[in-house]
Structure 1
Amino acid sequence: MSTASFFTESDGRFDPTRFSLSLWAPRTLNGPAVCAIAARSAEIAGGADGFRPVRFTIDLFRAARADPTTTTATMLREGGRVRVVEVDIFQHGGDEPVRVARSTTVFLKESTNPAGERWERPTSAFDPPEVPDDDYYPRFAADATTSADGSPVAAIEWTSDLAALQGPGRKRHWTHPLPVVPGETPSPFVRAVIAAESTSLMANWGTTGIALINCDLTVVLARLPRGVRVGVEADFHLEDDGISASTCTLYDVDGPFGTGAVAAVNNAKAEIDFTSVKPEDRMKQA
């Protein structure tokens, strides 16, 4: 079993590990780590029998640093069918705590589906690779497409080579999310949020790397994922004036279960070019 985690915890304080580090800049944390700690805190505060987390939204106010981190959870609503929990994430690297992010998680009461038939996305398009459960390294794939000059671009089969994925094709990701803290298996909700943070990577990753950085994440779940792995497939992407809007489908071995959505802004000065940057020391996660 992997002993890797995003943070270590002591007396309510979370200290980032090397697996939480970002490739954007030195001593910054990656999005999955920040989202993971928020989702975990929300579930601890708002989870209850019969209530399921169905929507998680986080606003990333500023870059999180490799500093001691704490969370504060507040129950905004506690109703018979709806619960809402707000989580603030603070970092303690100076004289005063700095709030780096705030999330809101909605929990809904489970019941039964109403009568009638409604359209649902078919599940036949999802064919995840077979990967051993103890292998934490993510796999990536891309669809065949056409380049800007009209030449064909071949599909990329499932691979762990990020440089091979640096093209214009629609991308997908198959991942085994890390624990938030050592010895704790991530809940299905936390796994979904960690994986969904790759919505920005899958949708904003182009021929020169990733040069748009997301300032938020919204995850909407019809059900919780089954199994230890989660897939993220790009669905929608548009960009204009240095701003992009993107969505991805979240899926597991049984098919789709939710969506991820992000807004992102031009960050070309710190563009991550996966043909030259080798992230294996942070992405192996084991």
Structure 2
Amino acid sequence: MASPAYFTPSGGRFAPAPHARSWWAPTMLHGRLLGGLLARTLEAEHGAPGLRFGRLTVDLFRSAPLEPVEVTTVRIRDGHRIRVAEATASSAIGLIARATAVQLRAGEQPPGRVPATPDWDAPDPLTLPPAKPGSMPQRWRFNEGDTRRIWLREPIALVDGEELSPFVRAALAADMASPLAHGSDGDLEFINADYTLYLSRPPVGEHIGLQSGGHTSDEGVAVGLCTVYDRLGPVGYSATAAVANPGVRPPRRPRAAEQAAG
């Protein structure tokens, strides 16, 4: 049986479930869920037929407690071919995150040939064995040297009673660019400060793929990039900035214990 939704609407706010916690601290809300909640509200209040979300930038500028979140939005620009909106998230401690979204009007594809992002040869996610118990989102990882690839599937509703849209599904997965691009072989010692998701089209299906494309860091400041895929091919990119956070996360558990606990 699937776990309860990560958030339940309550009095104009979104109350998080216990399993919405971050892996950095049990009393902290997971950043990817906060980004997903901002994306969900932007789509619900500003999405429109014929417009596609081409960019979503999520700023995670404060650790969010595992407490009810209020999301408000404002439309910044509304033109014939572009719509820009902003969402902010607040809790009892004040403002905790912000997101801006750019929607572009779909139209005729130009005939000229341009350099294209190649498809990848990761296994079809529908042929993969079951994911490890307790892993949320469900994940299948494939490392080849410095290139890291992962398939992700979110089986839990973000908000109670709502299906995940393709855009929100991509927004939830995009935050994983940080551990994929910034993680070391032993652990993750950079905490995400923001991420930007670029999409040329909505992803198809429940599986979102990420492939690391680069990482640079110096004196505790890191930037990274991943290509985003669905089962049909590349759909966009996720870029992230992060800051070193060594020694904050509890020591990594042995592999056997990690699989058992999820």
Q: Which deviates further from its counterpart, 121-130 or 203-212?
A: 121-130
**Structure 1 segments (4+ residues) deviating >3 Å:** 131-137, 271-283
The change in CA–CA distance for 1:133 and 1:243 in structure 2 (over 3 A counts) is same
C-alpha deviations, 1:50-105, integer Å up to 9, x for none?
0111100011111111111110000001111110110000002xxxx510001000
**Which residue matches 2:245?**
267
State how far apart, in whole Å, the 1-side matches of 2:174 and 2:252 are. 20
Task: Report the counterpart of residue 161 of structure 2 in structure 1.
Answer: 183
Change in 2 beyond 3 A, CA 1:133/1:23: closer
Distance 2:101 2:258 in 1: 31
Aligned to 2:188: 210
| Mapped partners of 2:259, 2:15: distance in 1 | 21
Q: CA RMSD in A?
A: 2.3
Which amino acid counterpart does residue 140 of structure 1 have in structure 2? W
State how far apart, in whole Å, the 1-side matches of 2:85 and 2:32 are. 19
Q: CA deviation at 1:132?
A: 8.0
Deviations 1:197-234 (A, max 9, x none): 10001111112200001100100001110001111111
2:195 match: secondary structure: strand
Report the count of equivalent residues: 256
Q: Aligned equivalents of 1:77 and 1:133: distance in 2?
A: 44
Q: 1:124 to 1:265 in 2, by over 3 A?
A: closer
Conserved 8 A contact 2:23-2:249: no
Give the Cα separation in 2 of the matches to 1:91 and 1:20: 15
Residue-by-residue CA offset, 1:209-263 (whole Å, 9 max, x unaligned): 0000110010000111000111111111111111111011111111110110000
TM-score by length of 2: 0.90
Q: Give the structure 2 partner of residue 258 of structure 1.
A: 236
Cα 1:174–1:282, aligned 2, differ >3 Å: closer, same or farther? farther
**Residues 1:126 and 1:272: Cα distance change in structure 2 (over 3 Å):** farther
TM (norm. structure 1) is 0.82
**Unaligned 5+ residue runs, structure 1?**
146-168
Q: Which amino acid aligns with 1:174?
A: W
Percent identity over paired residues: 34
Q: Which moved more, 1:171-180 or 1:189-198?
A: 171-180
Matched letter for residue 90 of structure 2:
F
